[in-house]
Structures are given as C-alpha cells and as structure tokens.
Structure 1
Amino acid sequence: MTKVEYKHKEVAVKKKLGQNFLTDRNIARKIVESAAVAQSDRVLEIGPGFGSLTSMILEYRKTFTAVEKDPVLASFIREEFPSVSLLEADFLTVDIAAMAAEGRLKVLGNIPYSITSPILFKLLDNRRHIVSATLMMQHEVARRLTAKPNTKEYGILAVQLQTFCDVDYLFKVGKKVFRPRPEVDSAVVRIVPRHSEMDADETGFRAFVRKAFAQRRKTLQNNLKKEYDLSGVVTIDTGLRAEALTIEEFARLYREMRPR
C-alpha cells in the first residue's frame, strides 16, 4: 500500500480514487492565477487532497467551498484550513445548482484521472451555474478536450465541450510534482461556458454527436442513417467521417437533418 506523508501525517493513497497529490506551490499558484480568482468570486474546489491548491486559493479568497470524498483527507482539510467550507461527498453527487444559488461558481481542481470524463460532463450539464472551470487532468484527456478536426484526439468529448464552452489548453505539468508520482503527465485546461445555438436542443444534439462518432471509421452517412433522415442535408458531405467536421459544421448538419 502506497502512503504519503504531509505535515507529519501519513495517509494511505486510495488507488480507486485516483489520488495523486500536487506538491509544487508554483504550479498551484499558476492554476489559481489562470482562474483569475478574486475576493468577490464564489469558488468551488474539487478534491482538495492535502490542500496544495486550497492554500493558494485562500491567498485570493478568504473562504470558499471544497468537496472531498476521502473522509481522512476531509478531516485533514477541516483541521488545516478551518475557513474552508468542506463538503464530504462524492463530487458526482453534489447539487451544483444549489451551491450556485447565490451566484455562479469558479471551479478549480486537480481532478482524479479515473473519473475525469464524468466530472467534465457533470460540469457541462451544470454550465449555467459556472463562470469557469480551471482543472488539472491527465495530459491525454486535456489534448482530447482541445483537439481540432482531423486528429485522432478529436471526438465526442471535444465536440460536446467545444460546442457549449470555450476550451483552452493552458500548460503541461510533469509527473515529478505529484506524490505518488503518476505514470503520465498532466495538463491544466480552462473551460468557460458560452451561449450556443444548440442550447435549445442540447439533449438531442449531444445524442447526435455520440451517434456520429459511434464507429469512427464509418462515414457520417453510415453512422447516422438509421436514426436520422439525411435527405435534407445540402451543405455537409455525409460521405466524410465525423472527425472531419468542425464544431460549426456539426451544428449545421444537425439543423439540416431530421430524426426518423
């Protein structure tokens, strides 16, 4: 069992929670500065762990909310950072709308590799309650989020996030600044929700994107023809694969076709 010592306290690392703790204060400061945290902001931190990012946020914001699932680490945060409002819970179950009742949130976090996608989709689902999300994640996932058309990284995650948000790759973070050291590099990404013409039928559009990428080597025509009438499509070549379309072209294709 891997253990990590911090301030003379030893904690067993729970692999199932994907725990890798940031140890570099300069990186933590860079994340907070990238989020442009100010005293007037309502801040939510996902998974504070040993509080590397927490302590840096407190230099800009005297109090804020953090969500920590691990009861040992939750206890640690309460003891070390009493001004932080600590919610001991699984972030995937928390009510973001209720947390944002008094104003939209700036979300920060070094999020677990194992549940990065569910966290991102939860934030996407709740984007109307969020000013921005500045997150550290596995480098590979960061590349997928910010991918461009005609690349192997470009897929469902990129199209769905980039349709409803501005997504920026900020900087890479090497393995050596974590305990225990992960096997892969990380990166920090900033996500800023924005208005999209697809807001009016978000559920339908997101289902369509999943179908378009259902089998990457197949054309749009072959992936979509069973569930959509493509006879009205005039501006998009449905003989292309989904990975060839820009974000704007996905929206145009969705407008032109009809469900069967």
Structure 2
Amino acid sequence: MYTLKKSLGQHFLKDENICMKIVESLPVSEGQQVLEVGPGGGAITKYLLQIPGIHFKAIELDTEKVQYLEKTYPEIRGKLLNVSILDAELPFEGQFRLIGNFPYNISTQIMFKVLEWRSSVDVVVGMFQKEVAVRLAAGHGNKDYGILSVLLQAYYHIEYLFDVHENCFNPPPKVKSGVIRLTRLEQPADVASERKFFVLVKTAFGQRRKQLRNPLKGLFDKETLQDPIFSKRAEELTVADFAALSHKMI
C-alpha cells in the first residue's frame, strides 16, 4: 500500500459514488486530451482510465504514489508525470481538460496555473475545500467574492456542482469539500492587459472594506477618480466593471 503525507495535503477519496460523480462532471468526447492533477491512490484515476478514446495523463509529485499507481494500474505507465503541477510545463500540445481532487494546501495556486494555461485549458473540474470552491464561484455583492473570483470569472464560467462530506475521505479532513466546474468563455472579459487587470483587482481587494477611491488612487488620474463607481467597494463591482476600469488606468 502507500502512506498518506500530511505535508502534501493528502486526503484520499474512498466514496466510489462521489468518485464517479466527479468524473461524470467532466464532459469528454473521442480524442479529448485529459490531465488529472494529484491522482494520489487512484480514486478517480481508475474511472478516467476506463473512458474510451481519450488521451490521458496525470501529474503526481509524490514518487511513492507514482510507483503505487504504476503497480496497481499498469495501463497508466508512460502517462504519469512525476512533478509538481506548479512547476509543470504544458503536458499536451493543443487543447486539454483538467480534473482533480486538488491538494487543498496549493489549490488556489493551481487556479493561478490554470489562468497561466487558459489558452490551452477549456474545462476544469476540481474538488476544493468548500470555502475555496464557494469563493471561486461567488458573484459580485457577495462577501465570498474576491481576487480569484474576479480573475477566473474574467475567462471562465464557474459552476458550484456539489458538496462532498468529510466521511468520503481517508483520513477525513477537518473541513467540508466542494466540486466546481470551470468552462472557458467564448468571449473573455475585455481587459486593457492582463498585467493591468491583475494589478487593479489585487489592489482593489487589498482594502476591500474601503471605497475604491482610497486603494486605487495611485492607479487613476484625479479626474477619473471622480466617477461615482469609485464610491463603491471592491465586492460591489462586476467582472465587467473591473475590465472596463482597466482601460482607464494611468
């Protein structure tokens, strides 16, 4: 068997119904390229390997789990990348879809990796700590709406799919979990530049309780700052509002 490593945030799924439900949430067709992040003990991997006609790869940092997977599922040999997702190069040429029970300690960093890869990744199905999943899917005007909500929703439609109970895992985490699906938008938000947009959003939410005029005063000229939108707080702005403001930055 294998050991569970707390340092890698390992909590492995043991509920087969949930495993199947996660895999079924990823739309795939013949010839689809699919990357699993953090297969661990293979809870959802074994179902992904059964999908006919797809090109499958998995990224797993833990060498012990790589050896276990290759021994348990011989058909996975040659399809495993023993590297951190955060350091990985693009695993495929062309479009691919991404799925995983993401290690909770790096799940938000994985989403920044998705943003980096967004021209290649059109759909993501992932399990997160529930409060992170809720935050990513939150709309404006919601206290959970934040930096990553805006950055991701500028490029992806995000759906909160279902909760996953702690008892579905070994060992049970101390937090609830949730599964979300990201589908890349055909028309992403019209931003001035990625750099400006990221700086704007991060600066706005850096002082989220204040009117935007205060945290953003260094990014706009005085005349622009007279616009009534700057009397609002960051969480009140839509993704489109942020995108439009990025064009008015100094």
* TM-score computed with the length of structure 1 as normaliser: 0.89
Q: Name stretches of at least 5 consecutive residues in structure 1 with no aligned partner.
A: 1-8
- The RMSD of aligned alpha carbons is 1.6
Equivalent AA in structure 1 for residue 138 of structure 2: A
1:91 corresponding residue in structure 2: 85
Aligned in 2, Cα 1:124/1:230: closer, same or farther, shift over 3 Å?
A: farther
1:222 corresponding residue in structure 2: 214
Conserved 8 A contact 1:22-1:52: yes
1:190 corresponding residue in structure 2: 181
**Deviation per CA, 1:123-144, whole angstroms, max 9, x where unpaired?**
1111101121100111000010
Aligned in 2, Cα 1:234/1:197: closer, same or farther, shift over 3 Å?
A: farther
2:201 corresponding residue in structure 1: 209
2:140 corresponding residue in structure 1: 149
1:10-25 aligned within 5 A: 11-25=2-16
Aligned in 2, Cα 1:18/1:178: closer, same or farther, shift over 3 Å?
A: same
**Runs of 4 or more above 4 Å deviation:** 233-236
Q: Give how far 1:258 is off.
A: 2.3
2:243 corresponding residue in structure 1: 251
Q: Give how far 1:230 is off.
A: 5.2
1:30-179 aligned within 5 A: 30-61=21-52, 64-84=56-76, 85-96=79-90, 99-101=91-93, 103-179=94-170
**Deviation per CA, 1:182-231, whole angstroms, max 9, x where unpaired?**
00111111112223243561121111100111111111100100232252
Aligned in 2, Cα 1:59/1:236: closer, same or farther, shift over 3 Å?
A: farther
Structure 1 or 2: larger strand share? 1
Conserved 8 A contact 2:151-2:198: yes
Q: Give how far 1:27 is off.
A: 1.0
Aligned in 2, Cα 1:226/1:199: closer, same or farther, shift over 3 Å?
A: closer
**Deviation per CA, 1:138-178, whole angstroms, max 9, x where unpaired?**
10000100112222111101111111111111111110110
Conserved 8 A contact 1:106-1:132: yes
Equivalent AA in structure 2 for residue 88 of structure 1: N
Helix, strand or coil for the counterpart of 1:237? helix
* TM-score computed with the length of structure 2 as normaliser: 0.93
Conserved 8 A contact 1:39-1:60: no
Aligned-residue identity in percent: 38
**C-alpha distance in structure 1 between counterparts of 2:213 and 2:227, whole Å:** 14
Equivalent AA in structure 1 for residue 231 of structure 2: G
Number of paired residues?
246
**C-alpha distance in structure 1 between counterparts of 2:218 and 2:227, whole Å:** 20
2:232 corresponding residue in structure 1: 240
**Deviation per CA, 1:225-244, whole angstroms, max 9, x where unpaired?**
02322523676520111111
Conserved 8 A contact 2:213-2:225: no
